[in-house]
């Protein structure tokens, strides 16, 4: 389990029975497997006397006998979990079902014999699993390996993997989902998890995974803890069999044991022409916070957006937070004057203002922004478009917006017309970094909560109203139909081929799935409503939606952005790890989430975070905020360069490693240069596509290699320094555009990276 039962546990308690965990607001179930003893098995792993089988459940005469060995050690609701003998494997199994869904936690403990704790002769843990469910939901199963070392609890890695087999001899790799094993509905088969797929549980290190560097020592095993969340799996019947170990130390990494992950790779191969003398290892140095198209970004007009009322002169004083992106909202009414009539003057003025500072824009168009004048084009209102009035979100306090009838066909047709015009004008515009699909819902966030068809109508005292049948009365659903949502997504996806798009929510329904579009996402409540059930959040939180939509790998090709709730933007940096945690001021009755847990899951590249620009910070809080911004998105390091200038050819190769959390999403022009006598004497463009270089996985497998061979470099004989840079296309408009900087010691402030010296001989004429 990641951070204890697949996520950070809200409380950790100690009772006379031992350690137990309570996870607020969710039902969770854990069972601890401790090494029982050899049982009836005599087979041993090489170099150890410990049996590979912990329990095959065949020795239990009835449920009572099983419960004596696998007992409900603790639960806030006695009897919340039914423990019994199952038969799903064809023999006896441990069968678990939830009896009381109001329970918040349960432990099922299997005692351990200390003499059987040396599992060093094995390569990992294995068990047979049957996930039987009538509602079609997958199961997120976490695991914790326990040892008797200090701080000796180990969770599944966030980016690790297991091997699963549905039939004899056939194995496939399944990556962990946020520190848990994602098991499909109806799965029946064997799971194998190697020791190196565990990392020290972060809750032992103040919640900071980076400080938990100890490695699992399988010679000191005291047990295993599995976990899943029955709140999301009320209809699941889980059966476990043949819990034990697999492999022997003599076969690690071999193809004879598919349960063992492949040995770490060392990176891409050097070019065939590379020589030892021409190979240059480049030194790492943190890239700047304000690398292009990543990091925290402020609003173009923060005073207008108005959460932080003080310190809105921040642009007139040195900023405490370097940045490369700026965000703006734009009412559709400002540019759309008719069905096919547009005035881009005001919008272009804002893009130009951002570009004048060397930055790129992120923007969102809206029709309905609570407490602002309506953004609905006048010609639609004059044409009879129906609207809804509301008072939520302080609407009407300073200005009054209205919510349109999103299913009006003239409105949807207008949005399609606008989108086509927007794409024709701005697709590939160098002033633009990312575009939020926007348009629909409050703030263009693709929701109309509380008008969602589900939220109850209440009286002045907060009591739910009932109809004549005694059923809860619910507010109307103002969202457009699935078909009309699809029309807007179709139009946006069609209009933009180059500039990258993001939309608020991962969605999967009978009409459309967002994973089928070339559109990423933005989480507008980042680190507050991001984490899924398995990590202490909810199914409807951002990552819970991504799991439900089957789209958790989107970030590898489609960007991720978002915004932090204004209330948490400053206080969270007072904590290590960063998290909003103020018991005196809960937000909607709860606290925030770990910033880095959210970042590791979502792989976000940019976040709207006005507070860190406008409100003065200092000391550790400022350091944490800066590191939080730096940690977003890509960090490309050139780890090796290969140079050769013999035989009339100039050969240049590089190996790029991504030390960040997400790839760079654009193929900006890459240039090489030759420098002599302190001056650049020649530059040329190479066709290297730098987008999509993924962060290295746990086995070091994602680095990318590029090479170029110039047949006739037209350089005189002699020694040259070879340079490389990625060109921000905004330089065409503003020479002071923020430079793309590699995470290298020899990266120059002018954007050029020194690759090394090369001697040119026998150049072409």
Query: Among 99, 104, 51, which Cα is nearest to 74's?
Result: 104
Residues 603 and 577 in one domain: yes
Which phi and psi (to 5°) does residue 693 adopt? Answer: -75, 110
Q: Are 527 and 608 in contact (CB under 8 A)?
A: no
Structurally, how many domains does the chain consist of?
4
Rounded distance between C-alpha atoms, residue 753 and residue 690, angstroms: 15
Rounded distance between C-alpha atoms, residue 633 and residue 639, angstroms: 18
Q: Are 123 and 96 in contact (CB under 8 A)?
A: no
Residues 456 and 387 in one domain: yes
Q: What's the pLDDT score for residue 250?
A: 32
The enclosing domain of 703 has a CATH number of: 2.60.40.10
Low-confidence ranges of the chain (pLDDT < 70): 1-51, 74, 104-105, 111-116, 168-169, 206-208, 231-232, 248-266, 303-306, 698-700, 763-765
Query: Among 583, 587, 593, which Cα is nearest to 533's?
Result: 593
Residues 154 and 187 in one domain: yes
Rounded distance between C-alpha atoms, residue 111 and residue 113, angstroms: 7
Joined tokens for residue 480: 């457009």
The enclosing domain of 91 has a CATH number of: 2.60.120.430
Domain membership flag for residue 57: yes
Residues 368 and 404 in one domain: yes
Residues 596 and 617 in one domain: yes
Q: What's the pLDDT score for residue 169?
A: 61
The whole-model pTM stands at 0.70
Query: Among 426, 429, 433, 430, which Cα is nearest to 324's?
Result: 433
Q: What's the pLDDT score for residue 763?
A: 58
Q: Please state, in angstroms and as integers, the Cα–Cα distance from residue 434 to each residue in 100, 327, 427, 431, 530, following that order.
A: 47, 10, 10, 10, 21
Q: Are 499 and 426 in contact (CB under 8 A)?
A: yes
Among 465, 499, 533, residue at a domain's last position: 499
Rounded distance between C-alpha atoms, residue 455 and residue 475, angstroms: 6
Query: Among 267, 122, 130, which Cα is nearest to 196's?
Result: 122
Q: Please state, in angstroms and as integers, the Cα–Cα distance from residue 75 to each residue in 105, 121, 203, 533, following that order.
A: 5, 35, 21, 19
Domain membership flag for residue 345: yes
Residues 375 and 451 in one domain: yes
Sequence-separated (6 or more) residues with CB below 8 Å from residue 723: 672, 673, 674, 675, 680, 752, 753, 754, 755
Domain membership flag for residue 199: yes
Residues 178 and 215 in one domain: yes
Q: Are 521 and 501 in contact (CB under 8 A)?
A: no
Domain membership flag for residue 26: no
Residues 223 and 315 in one domain: no
Rounded distance between C-alpha atoms, residue 362 and residue 354, angstroms: 10
Q: What's the pLDDT score for residue 116?
A: 64
Residue 349, SS3 per DSSP: helix
Among 610, 632, 654, residue at a domain's last position: 632
Joined tokens for residue 491: 């139009």
Residues 439 and 568 in one domain: no
Joined tokens for residue 574: 């007072």
Q: Are 675 and 652 in contact (CB under 8 A)?
A: no
Residue range of the domain that includes 130: 53-248
How many C-beta atoms surround the C-beta of residue 129 within 10 A?
Answer: 24
Among 499, 523, 546, residue at a domain's last position: 499
Residues 129 and 217 in one domain: yes
Domain membership flag for residue 371: yes
Tell me which long-range contacts 309-314 makes (C-beta under 8 A, separation of at least 24): 310/614, 310/615, 311/614, 311/615, 311/616, 312/614, 314/613, 314/614
Rounded distance between C-alpha atoms, residue 92 and residue 83, angstroms: 13
Residues 475 and 556 in one domain: no
Domain membership flag for residue 408: yes
Domain membership flag for residue 23: no
Domain membership flag for residue 648: yes
Residues 643 and 624 in one domain: no
């Amino acid at each position: 389990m990641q951070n204890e039962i697949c996520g950070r546990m809200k409380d950790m308690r100690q009772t006379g029975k031992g350690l137990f965990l309570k996870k607020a607001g969710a039902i969770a179930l854990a069972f601890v497997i401790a090494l029982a003893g050899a049982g009836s098995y005599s087979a041993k792993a090489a170099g150890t006397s410990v049996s590979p089988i912990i329990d095959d459940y065949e020795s239990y005469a009835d449920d009572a006998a099983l419960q004596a060995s696998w007992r409900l050690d603790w639960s806030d609701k006695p009897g919340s979990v039914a423990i019994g003998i199952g038969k799903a494997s064809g023999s006896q199994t441990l069968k678990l079902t939830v009896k009381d869904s109001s329970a918040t936690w349960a432990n099922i403990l299997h005692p351990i014999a200390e003499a059987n704790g040396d599992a060093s002769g094995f390569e990992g843990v294995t068990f047979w699993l049957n996930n039987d469910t009538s509602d079609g939901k997958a199961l997120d199963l976490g695991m914790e390996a326990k040892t008797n070392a200090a701080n000796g609890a180990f969770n599944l890695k966030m980016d690790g993997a297991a091997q699963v087999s549905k039939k004899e001899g056939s194995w496939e790799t399944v990556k962990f989902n946020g520190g848990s094993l994602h098991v499909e509905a109806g799965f029946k088969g064997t799971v194998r998890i190697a020791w190196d797929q565990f990392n020290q549980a972060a809750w032992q290190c103040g919640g900071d995974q980076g400080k938990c560097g100890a490695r699992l020592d399988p010679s000191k095993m005291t047990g295993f803890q599995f976990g899943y969340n029955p709140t999301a799996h009320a209809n699941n019947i889980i059966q476990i069999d043949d819990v034990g170990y697999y492999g022997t130390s003599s076969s690690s990494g071999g193809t004879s044991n598919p349960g063992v992950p492949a040995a770490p790779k060392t990176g891409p191969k050097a070019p065939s022409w590379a020589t030892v003398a021409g190979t240059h290892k480049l030194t790492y140095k943190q890239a700047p916070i304000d690398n292009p198209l990543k990091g925290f970004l402020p609003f173009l007009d923060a005073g207008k957006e108005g959460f932080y009322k003080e310190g809105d002169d921040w642009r007139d004083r040195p900023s405490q937070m370097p940045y490369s992106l700026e965000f703006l909202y734009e009412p559709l009414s400002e540019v759309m004057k008719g069905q096919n009539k547009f005035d881009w003057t005001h919008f272009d003025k804002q893009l130009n203002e951002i570009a004048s500072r060397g930055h790129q824009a992120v923007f969102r168009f809206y029709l309905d922004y609570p407490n602002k004048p309506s953004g609905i084009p006048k010609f639609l209102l004059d044409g009879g478009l129906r609207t809804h009035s509301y008072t939520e979100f302080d609407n009407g306090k300073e200005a009054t917006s209205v919510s349109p009838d999103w299913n009006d066909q003239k409105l949807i047709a207008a949005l399609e017309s606008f989108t086509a015009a927007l794409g024709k004008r701005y697709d590939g515009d160098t002033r633009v970094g990312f575009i939020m699909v926007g348009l629909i819902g409050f703030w263009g966030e693709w929701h109309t909560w509380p008008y969602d068809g589900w939220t109850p109508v209440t009286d002045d005292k907060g009591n739910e109203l009932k109809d004549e049948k005694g059923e809860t009365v619910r507010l109307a659903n103002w969202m457009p139909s699935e078909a009309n949502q699809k029309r807007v997504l179709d139009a946006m996806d069609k209009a933009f081929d180059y500039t990258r798009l993001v939309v608020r929510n991962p969605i999967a329904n009978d009409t459309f799935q967002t994973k089928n579009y070339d559109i990423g996402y933005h989480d507008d409540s980042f680190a507050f409503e991001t984490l899924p059930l398995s990590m202490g959040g909810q199914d409807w939180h951002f990552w819970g939606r991504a799991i439900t939509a089957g789209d958790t790998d989107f970030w590898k090709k489609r960007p991720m952005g978002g915004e932090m709730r204004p209330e948490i933007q400053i206080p969270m940096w007072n904590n290590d790890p960063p998290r909003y945690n103020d018991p005196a001021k809960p937000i909607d009755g709860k606290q925030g989430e770990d910033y880095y847990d959210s970042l590791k899951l979502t792989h976000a590249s940019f976040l709207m975070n006005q507070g860190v620009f406008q409100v003065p910070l200092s000391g550790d809080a400022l350091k944490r905020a800066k590191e939080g911004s730096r940690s977003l998105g890509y960090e490309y390091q050139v780890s090796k360069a290969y140079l050769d200038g013999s035989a009339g050819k100039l050969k240049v190769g590089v190996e790029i490693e991504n030390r960040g959390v997400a790839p760079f999403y654009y193929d900006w022009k890459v240039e090489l240069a030759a420098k002599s006598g302190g001056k650049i004497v020649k530059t040329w463009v190479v066709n290297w596509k730098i987008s999509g270089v993924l962060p290295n996985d746990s086995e070091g497998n994602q680095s990318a290699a590029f090479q170029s061979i110039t047949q006739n470099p037209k350089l005189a004989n002699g020694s040259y320094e070879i340079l490389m840079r990625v060109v921000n296309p905004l330089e065409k408009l503003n020479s002071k555009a923020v430079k793309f900087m590699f995470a290298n010691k020899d990266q120059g402030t002018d954007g050029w990276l020194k690759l090394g010296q090369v001697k040119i001989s026998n150049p072409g004429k």
